Amino acid sequence: MANRPDTLTARAPRLGRTWPALAAIGLAQLAAFIWYLTVPLPNAQAVQTTLPDGSTGAEPLRRIYVVMQALPHVVPGVGWDDSLLGTALANLSHVENLGDRLPIVAAGLLIAAAAVGLGRWTLRAFAPGIPTQAAEQLALAYGIGATLLGALSLGLGRLGSLHPWAVRLGLAALALANLRRPTGPLRLPRLRAAVPLLPALPFLILMVLGSLQPSLDFDALEYHLQGPKEWYQAGRIAFLPHNVYTSMPFAVEMLHLLGMVVLDDWWRGALVGQFLIMTFAPLAAILIAGATSRCAGPRAAWVAALAYLGTPWIYRLSVFAYVEGPLAYYHAALLWVVAAQFSSSSQTAHPPKSAPVRSWAALLGLTAGGAMACKYPALISAVIPASLVAAIGAVRAGSPQALAWFAAGLALTIGPWLLKNQLDHRNPVYPLGYSVFGGAPWSEPREAKWRAAHGPRPITGTELIAGLADVAGRNDWQSPLYLMLAPLAALRPGSRRASGWLALYAAYLFATWWLLTHRLDRFWVPILPALACLAGIGADWSTRRGWSILLATVLAVGLFTTWIYDTTALAALNRWTDSLATLRRDVPALASPSLTWLDRNLPPGGKILLVGPAAVFHMDHPIVYNTVFDDETIETLARDRTPAEVAAALRQRGITHIWVDWSEIGRYRSPGNYGYTDFVTPALFDRLVAAGVLRPLTIPWRDKNLFVVADPGSG
């Protein structure tokens, strides 16, 4: 990935000299875009349409329908108010409500400033001399500091020391301690240089506003947010036996916990965490641009950043409380480190004295460990490739001690989470690695259930084609720019070696996702930074005017399509400027109408045992619940016990009501799903009702039951 002069100024590629060749590329891109618009979306619900015979039927949703609905008067009967563009602008118009977000943004900026301060100190201590631009240094410092803040929060939380004012003052100290006066004159970026990135502004506006809405996604409500909420309410971080997901690396979720502590409010604090998750997207774009600029020209850099920010996946993961957005950031950081290291070392026979090989190795360890602190699969997607790069660098420089610095970077970032699980379960990667490490309270039946749900899927040609099609553009939240531009990276002189390595890494990420996981689509998101770099290089394959005009057209139609898609509910909740009071009232009902009804209709002081539901973050009442992979609570309370013993166990836990969601239990029991214990049956509750332990209450749902635990003195 050497930083070579831009050879395009001296010699255009032979292919770019002929209009027929340029026309062929244009036709290929047109075909790719038509396919992108017309391929059925695999995750979207079918739409009702009128057939030629006048009847109605279900039609798979395609992006062409979204594009046609975007502008007024394209579809008959669709005026400005009904068009997607008109709807989007209307949803963005209530700016008078945005003042209620200011405390959330202020808390987020405090935490972000502390992360930057901690990250800068770490870079100075562990990776001195790394050549960076100011924006790149900010992006690196933030990501590294955020991971270390998570580790500090874990340590303080285990000690029960996350007190609001102590945390606020500590964050302020970290932010202020690293404020430095500029060593030279302050230079503002030239306006002309910023113009190519203006198309990113509409995407960034949606990201910022979208991140300040409450979440309604199942996984977020089950553990990404629920785990920090329980720790905040308990005043300490401890093992949660009813939620196995909270035993995984939770560096990203610590941002939610910090937000809850800073604002002393679990609901608004979760929004602080989501706001911080959003910030990883533009910072990843900075690092993607920086990596690409070391392989090609300036145009390649800004196209790579635009392609990344214009991907609906990146918007979606910026407004959901998921970890894949930050995870993609750390993969972008890895690409930047490798590109910067090899471009620096190729300029002379030896690496620059200001950036010894141990600095690069430490930075690789910090970023790879940061990725794994987001999610276990990064062991394969980030840590293993980074280990190979660190080993190659150490051998080339004749510096074996560099590997010790790499290990130190890993230990700082992922080490605390492995230590936590070692202390809690005698298994550093609990609940994974059970066959090697064991780990209570995991068991063979739970391991079999986990493997059936999360293990590799069958290897067939059809599945492989489907996976490739998803990454190429079929997936609901993919961008067309990767398919239209990335293949052209092979045509750019001076960048073919870098393009080859990027393509190899992208292939590795795809292969390991497809072979080793259960192929959930968002698990391949870490491939996007590499594809964005390739798209940027491909955009820079020629400097001829004809290609520049064609590139501008490709970017315009591609970014317009993805932005319009981002504005719809197909991407995420799009009530960007509603008041927080309105959102707090409405969003829980969108996520689960029945649980919202239950939470609002039970008397104060009630404590609910939930049988089936686990997406419980929005509930205000005290609850007892478990995820589907944990021991079922009602089974532990009722198995091999008499009704009187069950009643005593319920009273001991303080449970006043039991809610049974048979539709959710049926979903788990459906073919191909996770499964659900056979112990839970209607007969179980009939027996407890007949014994006077429970008394049924009337509710508006036939596929659910609500019971009140009988008062022992009432009979």
Measured between alpha carbons, how far is residue 639 from residues 176, 569, 626, 633 in Å? 57, 44, 16, 10
Residue (of 31, 192, 18) closest to 546 by Cα position: 18
Residue (of 329, 336, 323) closest to 523 by Cα position: 323
Dihedral of alpha carbons 71, 312, 65, 67, sign: positive
The secondary structure element, H or E, covering residue 11 is none
Residue (of 87, 203, 211) closest to 580 by Cα position: 211
Per-residue pLDDT reduced to its tens digit, 381-393 = 999 999 999 999 9
Q: What is the pLDDT of residue 111?
A: 98
The DSSP output letter for 136 is: H
Buried b (16+ CB within 10 A) or exposed e, 224-244: bbbbbbbbbeeeebeebebbb
Query: What region does 287 belong to: left with phi over 0, alpha with psi -120 to 50, or beta?
Result: alpha
Q: What is the pLDDT of residue 177?
A: 82
Strand 657-661 and strand 56-59: pairing?
Answer: unpaired
Per-residue pLDDT reduced to its tens digit, 293-326 = 999 999 999 999 999 999 999 999 999 999 999 9
The secondary structure element, H or E, covering residue 557 is helix 545-566
* Contact indicator for 15, 491 with CB cutoff of 8 Å: yes
Q: At 9, is the pLDDT very low, low, confident or very high (cuts 50, 70, 90)?
A: very low
Q: How far apart are CA 171 and CA 169, in angstroms?
A: 5
Q: What is the pLDDT of residue 10?
A: 40
* Contact indicator for 529, 484 with CB cutoff of 8 Å: no
Q: What is the pLDDT averaged over residues 612-634?
A: 97
* Contact indicator for 429, 376 with CB cutoff of 8 Å: yes
Residue (of 378, 507, 376, 506) closest to 450 by Cα position: 376
Q: What is the pLDDT of residue 14?
A: 53
Mean pLDDT, rounded, of the chain: 92
Task: Identify the bridge partners of residue 48 per DSSP, sorted by sequence position.
Answer: 58
Task: Identify the bridge partners of residue 658 per DSSP, sorted by sequence position.
Answer: 609, 707
Token pair 């959710």: residue: 664
> Which sequence spans correspond to the domains of the chain?
96-178+195-413+455-566, 592-709
Roughly what angle, to the nearest 10 degrees, separates helices 401-413 and 384-397? 150
User: Measured in whole angstroms, how far is the alpha carbon of residue 408 from the centre of its chain?
Assistant: 26
Strand 623-624 and strand 47-50: pairing?
Answer: unpaired
Q: How far apart are CA 318 and CA 590, in angstroms?
A: 20
Dihedral of alpha carbons 324, 408, 356, 500, sign: negative
Per-residue pLDDT reduced to its tens digit, 398-439 = 889 999 999 999 999 999 999 999 999 999 999 999 999 999
Per-residue pLDDT reduced to its tens digit, 32-57 = 999 999 999 999 887 765 555 556 66
Is it the case that residue 613 has pLDDT exceeding 90? Answer: yes
Is it the case that residue 453 has pLDDT exceeding 50? Answer: yes
Amino acid at 245: Y
What percent of the chain is predicted at pLDDT more than 70?
A: 92
Residue (of 589, 452, 455) closest to 518 by Cα position: 455
Residues in CB range of 645: below 8 A, 6 or more apart: none
Residue (of 322, 304, 328, 308) closest to 562 by Cα position: 308
Q: What is the pLDDT of residue 590?
A: 95
Q: What is the CA radius of gyration of the chain?
A: 27
Q: What is the pLDDT of residue 349?
A: 41
Q: How far apart are CA 388 and CA 392, in angstroms?
A: 6
Measured between alpha carbons, how far is residue 391 from residues 17, 267, 361, 388, 403 in Å? 43, 45, 9, 5, 7
* Contact indicator for 538, 486 with CB cutoff of 8 Å: yes
Per-residue pLDDT reduced to its tens digit, 223-238 = 999 999 999 999 999 9
Q: At 5, is the pLDDT very low, low, confident or very high (cuts 50, 70, 90)?
A: very low
Is it the case that residue 601 has pLDDT exceeding 80? Answer: yes
Measured between alpha carbons, how far is residue 211 from residues 113, 170, 389 in Å? 18, 25, 35
Q: How far apart are CA 211 and CA 271, in angstroms?
A: 7
Q: What is the pLDDT averaged over residues 130-159?
A: 96
Q: What is the pLDDT averaged over residues 369-389?
A: 98
Task: Read off the tokens for 125.
Answer: 């201590």
Per-residue pLDDT reduced to its tens digit, 179-224 = 764 444 445 455 566 677 799 999 999 999 999 999 999 999 999 9
Task: Read off the tokens for 605.
Answer: 């002081």
Strand 608-611 and strand 694-697: pairing?
Answer: unpaired
Is it the case that residue 457 has pLDDT exceeding 70? Answer: yes
Q: What is the pLDDT averaged over residues 153-159?
A: 97
Listed in sequence order, the DSSP H helices in 235-378 are 253-263, 266-293, 298-309, 312-319, 324-345, 357-374, 378
Residue (of 103, 317, 101) closest to 209 by Cα position: 101
User: Measured in whole angstroms, how far is the alpha carbon of residue 76 from the centre of its chain?
Assistant: 38
Strand order in the sheet with 657-661: 623-624, 608-611, 657-661, 704-709, 694-697
Q: How far apart are CA 715 and CA 705, in angstroms?
A: 23
Q: What is the pLDDT of residue 179?
A: 73
Q: At 348, is the pLDDT very low, low, confident or very high (cuts 50, 70, 90)?
A: very low
Q: What is the pLDDT averaged over residues 368-374?
A: 98
Task: Read off the tokens for 325.
Answer: 């957005």
Q: How far apart are CA 535 and CA 562, in angstroms?
A: 16
Measured between alpha carbons, how far is residue 673 from residues 595, 664, 669, 676, 697 in Å? 22, 11, 6, 9, 30
Q: What is the pLDDT averaged over residues 323-339?
A: 97
Residues in CB range of 619: below 8 A, 6 or more apart: 588, 595, 599, 608
Roughly what angle, to the nearest 10 degrees, separates helices 63-70 and 545-566? 90
Amino acid at 706: L
Q: What is the pLDDT averaged over residues 471-499?
A: 96
Complete DSSP assignment for 488-529 = GGGGSTT-HHHHHHHHHHHHHHHHHHHHHS---GGGGGGGHH
Task: Read off the tokens for 680.
Answer: 């839970």
Token pair 């972000």: residue: 112
Q: What is the pLDDT averaged over residues 101-118?
A: 98
Work out the number of other CB atoms within 10 angstroms of the CB of residue 679: 12
Angle (CA) 573 576 577, round 5°: 145
Q: What is the pLDDT of residue 180?
A: 61
